[in-house]
Amino acid sequence: MDFDLSEEQRLLKESVDGLLTDVYDFGARKKYRKEKGGWSKVIWSRLAEQGLLGLSFAESDGGFGAGAVESMIVMEALGRALVLEPYLPTVVIGGGFLRHGGSTAQKAAHVPSIIRGSKTFAFAQLEKNSRYDLHDITTSAKNKGDGWVVDGEKVVVINGENADTLVLTARTMGARRDKSGVGVFLVPANAKGIAKKTYPTQDGLHAADITFTGVEVGTDAAIGDPENALPLIEYVVDEARTALCAEAVGAMDESLKITVEYLKTRKQFGVPIGSFQSLQHRAADMFVAIEQARSMSMFATMAANFDHAASRASAVAAAKVQVGRSAKFIGQQSIQLHGGIGMTMEAKVGHYFKRLTMIENTFGDTGYHLRRVSESAPWQELCSG
């Protein structure tokens, strides 16, 4: 298999890296965090002008028809720059639901606005007691005449404060943990009956706890089959996990770069601490951990083309395990090699540590995905044989 980037992909990488180098230094990021919702509308417009928001949409919908590799390139760049803007919830997740399950009318109503940068999304999926199980849902969507009535609460909705549209998972029938009876709905964020409690997260993003009380939406709000949308949810969330793996690789790359520069400049006993062999070994171990994560991130990206859903899910889970382990190791080593200064708000490396920690826990931590791998069909067949 050829893992080299094509000429077009190399140009994309140079383009996005060049843009973020120009507009996203650490000082600028501090200013962006203070804006409403915790990210910059100007930068979002720049991403739209660069064509990055329309990258993964089909040409027939106004996009560029790019694939998983192009998404990986962009997410790595966003991770290196520690970008705050809602690319994951809007383009990867919101766009993913529209690409894979949206009707022609739904795509026409939302995709052009995403590509222009005039509309952002948030994924209202997590509930207080659901942990990482996508089918554990108590929020209800009850059929009422020519529409649906939504009641329930979602927590830690990233970009929930600024989003124009919420992608909501809700139960249309059955018991709380049934895998059938689950639907996905597009809900205007300003709909009557929605209440939000907003707050910053540990990694500098902004989230909201959102309560839905008698929120009414039309029949056209449902994406796909409102009683059997779990396979669609799992597919899109696995794409989001793959994107997070790529973002983590970018963040780890930059963490190592920052740490090595610190080792070259910080002096003890009159010499740079980078001259100490034990610290050189630790930096080498960090490099190995990043390369392990990078290879598994690429594996998950390649798995996007797998025809077999279970094999695709197992590949993504395996990648999340390795990336989670590497992210924890890189984050901890970066802080330790910086000493106490690494935990200060002024130290850039500490912010990478926080983001890597949040990525490891998003859509399933390392332990959760290790169970997914062990329970997957290929492993069961191997053990039974």
Q: Return the pLDDT at 195.
A: 98
Please report which helix (H) or strand (E) contains residue 242, including its range.
helix 230-265
> Phi and psi at residue 319, in whole multiples of 5°?
-65, -40
Scanning 82-213, the segments in alpha helix (DSSP H) are 87, 95-101, 104-116
Neighbours of 224 (CB within 10 A): 18
| Cα distance between residue 249 and residue 289, in whole Å | 10
| Cα distance between residue 310 and residue 319, in whole Å | 14
Q: Return the pLDDT at 2.
A: 59
Q: Return the pLDDT at 262.
A: 86
Would you say 68 and 301 are in contact if contact means Cβ atoms under 8 Å apart? yes
CA nearest 77: which of 201, 238, 243, 240? 243
Domain spans, the chain: 7-119, 123-221, 230-380
Q: Return the pLDDT at 385.
A: 45
Domain 123-221: which CATH class? Answer: mainly beta
Q: How many residues does the chain have?
A: 385
Q: Give the Å distances, CA to CA, from 347 to 51, 249, 316, 354, 370.
A: 32, 20, 32, 12, 33
CA 92 to chain centre: 7
Q: Return the pLDDT at 155.
A: 97
| Cα distance between residue 161 and residue 310, in whole Å | 35
| Cα distance between residue 299 and residue 311, in whole Å | 12
Average pLDDT per block of 10 residues along the chain, 385 residues long: 81 95 93 94 96 95 93 97 97 97 96 97 96 95 93 97 97 95 97 97 95 96 96 96 98 95 84 81 95 96 86 94 97 90 86 96 95 74 45
Q: Return the pLDDT at 345.
A: 84
175-205 CB burial, b ≥16 within 10 A, e <16 = eeeeeebbbbbbbebeeeebeeebeeeebbb
CATH architecture for segment(s) 7-119: Orthogonal Bundle (1.10)
State which CATH number among 1.20.140.10, 3.60.15.10, 3.40.50.300, 1.20.1250.20 fits the domain covering 230-380.
Answer: 1.20.140.10
End-to-end CA distance of the chain: 29
| Cα distance between residue 85 and residue 36, in whole Å | 12
